[in-house]
A and B are shown apart, each in its own frame.
Chain A
Amino acid sequence: METRIANIAFVAFVAFVTHPAPVNASPRQKWTENSIIFQSIMNIKMTKTTQSTAQLLVTCMVDAIYPQVGTAVKSILNKNGCEMKFPPQQTCCAQPAFNAGFLKQARAIARHTIDVFTNTAGPVVVPSGSCTDMIVHHYPELLKSDPVYSLKAKKLSERTFEFTQFLVDKLGLTNIGANYNGRATYHPCCHGLRNLNLVRQPSTLLDNVKDLEQVALPCAEDCCGFGGLFSLRMSEISGAMLDKKLNHVEESGANVLIAGDVGCIMHMKGGLRRRGSNIQVKHIAEILNDCH
């Protein structure tokens, strides 16, 4: 143990001396430089103590409509030394009830999900920013006055990670050897972007995909208009928002649109099909799993 700590300290020292921040770097740059060094140290530590088991919370929509996304996540994590478990009792994260204000129902479903994952080992990986946000931020809030589940909710929230977040921040991977031939544009889904700050993780991973040409999406941070039940209750507004998003996608000149949430993917894909467009829509895990 002591030797490892000494090793880490030594690596830190060497890294610090050999990678000084630029002389006239701003505090922000210096911080970033240092945090990269810090992260690489953490990675060295991580790879030695890697949790070899992770739980897959696949989300109901991947389960029912886009199972290939779940398969892609499983195979990517397997390749990177993670044994994946799938607790078969899992269903849905409760967002449709929570976002519509049906808190009683949302609590019941949240308790079910917590029960399913409580006695499992390792981190919980979710291929969706929105469902991760639900578990990480809303479960503890929703169950804060529940004597039994408040602590359990907190514990689950602490070990739940969105898929790209898990790859980059927990496993320390930036290049997973993927290879995808296409001109792609990336839509950052709102909950991942604003509630989990998923910016660096997907962009790092995509930057390292071989043969992938990336083009900018105009007004990328605008919501696509899905919003769960919003798309049914306010379908006209939702449709107008979708129209704007798809105009921007077409403007970008991409032939594949990448996103991290299958809800938004379903929405944009359905809109593109109605338009008769040939642009494909892929979950980021599908892109990263492609290696010819």
Chain B
Amino acid sequence: MTATELSFYDRISDALANPEGQLAIAAGARAKHMNRASAMAEFPNMEITRERARHIRARTLSQLDYFLAQFADNVESLGGHVFWAKDAKECNRYINEIARAQDVQLVAKAKSMLTEEISLNESLQASGINVVETDLGEFIVQLSGDKPSHIIAPILHMTRQQVGNVFKEKLNVPFSDDPATLNAVVRAHMREIFLKADMGISGVNFGVAESGALCLVTNEGNGRLISTTPRIHVAVMGMERLVPTLVDLSTMLQLLARSATGQKLSVYSNVLCGPRRENESDGPEELHIVILDNGRSQILGTSLAEILYCIRCGACLNACPVFHSIGGHAYGSVYSGPVGSVLSPLLFGDSWNLLPHASTLCGACKEVCPVDIDLPGLLLKLRAKESEKGESPLWMRLGQWIYAVTTCNPILFGLALRTGQLISRILANEGWFTKLPGPLQGWSAQRDFPALAQSSFRQMWDKSSKG
């Protein structure tokens, strides 16, 4: 989606060649990971709540058609409009049409990864509409012409100093790296945007089927402002982001903030029901909810459907040692980390098939997932899907064939051991290889490889049982 020219491997090299960014990412992600751990430790019955949350997601998805219809009916009876968008194009076209019909000049946006997925900002800007991101992190991303590097912390890759420099350059304010000062700058700048905007656009954290309510969760209150001040509020919701009831919502909210940042609850958890009613003093005149498929219905009902349980808390990114090392940008997709490695090939196609290989299957992601998604298992399934289609590299296919033939035959296996011993005897230096050929050179680039033992365990066993 966020297609960059570079290949995955080049992006990895670039990320690793930037120690400053790498440190910022690792420190930021680890801090969130630790906060999550302590929040969960003091949360009674965490495992039971987690199980309940998983059950809620599973039930919702198993009857998604029913809950979507119920949700849409309720939204409409509250006076909102529902639009079903098959893909990014339909979604962007619909929102552009509303903007044109209502003569919208300025759009204030709350943070939403779904709108990143469909490049909504670019689409609106191409029609001459001014779009301003109102989440602090997203605003900085927008100012610096960057992309978010984490699903809930868009500027995880930046240091305070870098943010100070962006502000100095783009907003003409004196340099400062003091968070409070930087915040004050944005606050002054944003207030005007909120008051002037004709349209507010947000994502949806959860839609509540039984009432047609939308839940928006933010820490900065911008979600509340953009959904109440402008004339029109457009909310873009992934078709899987429903919970059946308000009680279910409370279960999910207990886990969402704790998993994401270690907070008990996000600072602003808004539940919005329809547009402004006659005797109400605020709220939008018009509410549009776009329910977006964009590939999700293709995942539903498959063995990979579990990935749709995801509530986008980012805990798996914060726990992932691969993410700590390369950061979000290297993945190249809107969705990074373990969840991104599963979602990207499913939503955006086979060109993302290398992402599932960027995991040691260490399981840290599954351990922290609030809805217990078996992420390593899903990565394995994606790898299996790729190799079934015969799309693995030739050296891998060849190697796997040789490996299987050898290991299924103890005589060949013994022979392979002896060959390895011979090679070790001739080529190893003090029991180590420091340079390996072909596809093995990646290993020797950063570590030595041990020579095979001159007597394998089976040879030793034979000798001792005979002698």
Where the two chains meet, the residues of A that have a C-beta atom closer than 8 Å to any C-beta of B are 58, 60, 62-68, 70-71, 86, 88-92, 94, 96-103, 105, 108-109, 112, 190-191, 194-195, 219, 221-223, 225-244, 266-267, 269-271, 273-274
Contact = CB atoms under 8 A, between A and B. Distances in A.
Interface in B443-459: 443, 445-450, 452-453, 455-458
Contacts of B380: 98-99, 101
Contact of B447 (A64, A190, A194, A271): A271
B383 A237 contact: no
B407 A109 contact: yes
B362 interface: yes
B358 A66 contact: no
A102 B400 contact: yes
B321 A232 contact: no
Contacts of A86: 457-458, 461
A92 B447 contact: no
A105 B401 contact: yes
Interface stretch (B219-227, B282-290, B384-392): B384-392
A230 B446 contact: no
Contact of B16 (A191, A236, A242): A236
A96 B403 contact: yes
Interface string B376-404: 00001011111110001000100011011
A101 B383 contact: yes
B46 interface: no
Q: Is the interface of A mostly helix, strand, loop or mixed?
A: helix
Interface in B406-442: 406-410, 413, 417, 420, 432, 434, 439-440, 442
A241 B322 contact: yes
A62 B457 contact: yes
A103 B404 CA distance: 11
Given A64-B456, A225-B321, A274 B363 contact: no
Contacts of B326: 237, 240
Given A225-B321, A240-B325, A273-B447, 10 more contacts: A58-B457, A67-B457, A86-B458, A101-B380, A101-B392, A102-B387, A102-B392, A109-B404, A242-B446, A244-B321
Nearest to B385: A101
B325 A64 contact: no
B446 A194 contact: no
A98 B377 CA distance: 11
Nearest to B411: A89
25 contacts: A63-B456, A86-B458, A91-B407, A97-B400, A99-B361, A99-B380, A102-B387, A105-B404, A191-B363, A194-B366, A223-B364, A227-B359, A232-B442, A234-B12, A236-B446, A237-B16, A239-B446, A240-B326, A242-B446, A244-B26, A244-B324, A266-B449, A270-B443, A271-B446, A273-B447
**Closest CB pairs A-B (n = 10):** A235-B442, A227-B360, A101-B383, A239-B446, A270-B447, A105-B404, A223-B362, A190-B362, A194-B363, A67-B457
Nearest to B410: A89
B303 to A, nearest CB: 12
Interface residues of B, number: 65
Identify which of A64, A94, A231, A266 gathers the most chain B CB atoms within 10 Å of its CB.
A64
Given A67-B457, A91-B407, A101-B385, A239 B363 contact: no
Given A194-B362, A237-B326, A273-B432, A100 B404 contact: no
Contact of B325 (A60, A228, A237): A237
Contacts of B447: 239, 242, 267, 270-271, 273-274
A230 to B, nearest CB: 5
B360 A270 contact: no
A227 B443 contact: no
B360 A109 contact: no
A158 B303 CA distance: 26
Nearest to A269: B450
A239 B362 contact: no
Contacts of A96: 400, 403
Nearest to B377: A141
A67 B456 contact: yes
A63 B459 CA distance: 9
B410 A88 contact: yes
Nearest to B465: A86
B384 A244 contact: no
Contacts of B382: 101
Contacts of B364: 190, 194, 221-223
B357 interface: yes
B13 interface: yes
A266 B453 CA distance: 13
A273 B360 contact: no
B463 to A, nearest CB: 11
A71 B408 CA distance: 24
A88 to B, nearest CB: 6
A65 B453 contact: yes
B400 A223 contact: no
Contacts of A226: 360
Contact of B457 (A71, A225, A235, A243): A71
B387 A101 contact: yes
B444 to A, nearest CB: 9
B395 to A, nearest CB: 9
A244 B455 contact: no
A57 to B, nearest CB: 11
Given A91-B408, A91-B413, A274 B446 contact: yes
B372 interface: no
Contacts of A88: 410, 458, 461-462
Contacts of A66: 453
Contacts of B116: none
A121 to B, nearest CB: 17
A216 B31 CA distance: 20
B360 A101 contact: no
Nearest to B462: A88
Given A190-B362, A273-B448, A232 B383 contact: no
B248 interface: no
Contacts of B367: 194
A269 B446 CA distance: 12
Contacts of A267: 447
Contacts of B440: 232
Contact of A64 (B13, B324, B417): B417
| Residue with the highest number of chain B CB atoms closer than 10 Å, among A58, A234, A274 | A234
